[in-house]
Structure 1
Amino acid sequence: MVDLNFVLRVDPDVPLRETIITLAELVGEGKIGGVALCEMELSLFNTDPLTNGITDTCFELNIPIYESVVSSMLTGQYKSHDDFLERDIQKAMPRYQPENFAVNMKSVQELEKLAIKKRCTPAQLALGWALTLSKQKHMPVIIPIPGSVRPEMIKENSTPVQLSQEEMNEIDIVLAQFEVAGDRYGARAMRLVNG
């Protein structure tokens, strides 16, 4: 038996719901221990899963969502496209191209203000948002995957931040004011992540 089957990429020719239901049937048959979704981005830069049925289906079928919820822009390390090193994968991603980076920094700056008010880092705010979201009614378990490239990131991301409903509402207001510019990946790869 396989303990946990991750859906890392989606088949663009098969509805995601159909894939999940089929895997849930395999859990019921005892062939796999559980199902998890990854790469269906759920972050402060993409809240689509909250409205496109992904979180509803995961809640219904008791499937957790594993996701990296902290955009590199929220770490405070990058203030412009020029801050990325040549080897940084973000340098080639649409969301981080100069014209999109400048637009997206506007929402990041507002989120940074909320983090200062909360006395935490923007990355901790993003992780706290996901963990608080996970505890809300009719939400699946959301397991954030924090950055762990450097020891200081591990320390920062292991400090839990709990957000009140009022703070969650403040984040919602910021997110509603700004539309994220640029996709997470190029067009070809995007077909394989959000279905």
Structure 2
Amino acid sequence: MEIKKIALGNAGLTVPIIGLGCMGMTGFEDGHMYGPADEQEAIATIHRSLALGGNFLDTADLYGPFKNEQLIAKAIGGNRKNYIIATKFGWEIDDNNKVTWAINGKKEYVKKALERSLKNLKTDYIDLYYMHRLDKSTPIEETVEAMAELVKEGKVGYVGLSEVSSETVRRAHAVHPVTAVQSEYSLFERSVEERGVLATLQELGIGFVAYSPLGRGFLSGQIRSIDDLPENDFRRAIPRFQEEHFYKNIELVKAIEVMAAEKQVSASQLALAWIISKGILPIPGTKRVKYLEQNIAAASIALSDPDLAKLENIIPLGTDTGDAYDEFSMGLID
């Protein structure tokens, strides 16, 4: 089955209707984001994705730092032209390869980060280059001007932003066309809808990319208690996974599983099909071939309007499922 392709925004980028989030494929400094990963299995997952028509890979210099981009370079070596690579910059990484946890959108840093990503990815161009978070001390115009220069130089194909407000999108888009905005979005997390960001993107012809489309694994149905998360898993620090929200959220997942069983699909496939039906590009993260195949199969599930309404009635817009991040990280969302 060949995955259907869609235009991501109206600037000319065509992508499959489902992408592959690569963050969990490598460790992060001294731990893992989502438990341990196996490099060979991760590379096999990238190759299997391509074989099924899923050639859109999402990474960032932050992941590792750099390890994730380096893994992708290894996986796509000799076959670069068949992949669409999206990476991100913004979390400042110093010359000792340490994350400072500041956000840097200054012109000189944008260019430095890009050269570093090109080196780590072993390529001479990035298809879609995102600003990972807004640098609130640098005008967005300065950051986007730097990104626009990289487009002119042929080092970047398209410009993207991540976790930004409607106002920031409009200001950025006035400097150079923004192709895509990436934010967390799932049945559990619809704040971009509530804040009017999706409506702004539609109005401006900008594509929307949904990361964590399975609610950071909640919608997979694999998590039934906090103990199902590895000890050093960063989700243990997220309010959504804390006791006050956790068990309420499990009840919502169970209701979705009932509907999925009626349709003879998994809860995660139903959750992905819901996003795809909205014309949004989900990038579920996985490091295993088995889950990749299940995710890609979700791209062929057709949902009717009554199906969509039924799903959205389980978790109506505005349902409090707990914050997506701890307090520090929530403060970095525009």
TM-score normalised according to structure 2 size: 0.50
- Which of 250, 263, 267 is residue 118 of structure 1 equivalent to? 263
Q: Does 1:37 align with 2:174?
A: no
Separation in structure 1 between the aligned mates of residue 317 and residue 204 of structure 2, nearest angstrom: 33
- What are the superposed Cα offsets for residues 113-157 of structure 1, whole Å, 9 maximum, x if unpaired? 1111111111111110101112xxxxxxx2100122211110110
Partner of 1:8: 132
CA shift for structure 1 position 89? 1.6
Q: Distance in 1 between matches of 2:331 and 2:268?
A: 27
How far 1:12 moved relative to its partner? 5.8
**Structure 2 residue 194 is matched with structure 1 residue 57:** no
Q: Distance in 1 between matches of 2:231 and 2:303?
A: 36
Match for residue 171 of structure 2?
Answer: 22
Query: Equivalent of 1:148, from 286, 294, 297?
Result: 286
Unaligned runs of 5+ in 2: 1-124, 140-163
Once the two structures are superposed, residues 150-187 of structure 1 have per-residue CA deviations (whole angstroms, 9 ceiling, x without a partner) of 11110110102221111001011111299333211011
In the other structure, the counterpart of 1:85 is 230
Amino acid at match of 2:281: I
1:56-86 CA-to-partner distances (Å, cap 9, x unmatched) read 1101111111122112111121111111111
* Corresponding position of 2:116: none
Matched residue, 1:172: 312
CA contact (8 A) 1:7 1:35 kept: no
Equivalent residue number for residue 214 of structure 2:
70
What does residue 243 of structure 2 align with?
Answer: 98
Structure with the greater relative contact order (CA < 8 A, sep ≥ 6): 1 or 2? 1
Query: Structure 2 vs 1, CA of residues 151 and 172 (structure 1 numbering), >3 Å: closer, same or farther?
Result: same
Q: Which segments of structure 1 move beyond 6 Å, counting only runs of 4 or more?
A: none
Distance 1:86 1:120, change over 3 A: same
Does the 8 Å CA contact 1:73/1:108 hold for their aligned counterparts? yes
CA distance in structure 2 between the aligned counterparts of 1:147 and 1:120, rounded to whole angstroms: 19
Q: Is the 8 A contact 1:80 1:98 kept in 2?
A: no
RMSD between aligned residues: 2.3
Separation in 1, partners of 2:126, 2:168: 17
Question: Number of residues paired by the alignment?
Answer: 181
Q: Where does residue 62 of structure 2 map in the other structure?
A: none
Shift of 1:22: 2.5
Maintained 8 Å contact 1:8/1:37: no
Give the Cα–Cα distance (whole angstroms) in 2 for the partners of residues 96 and 178 of structure 1: 18
Does the 8 Å contact 1:81/1:96 carry over to 2?
yes
SS state of the match for residue 9, structure 1?
coil
Structure that is richer in helix per residue: 1
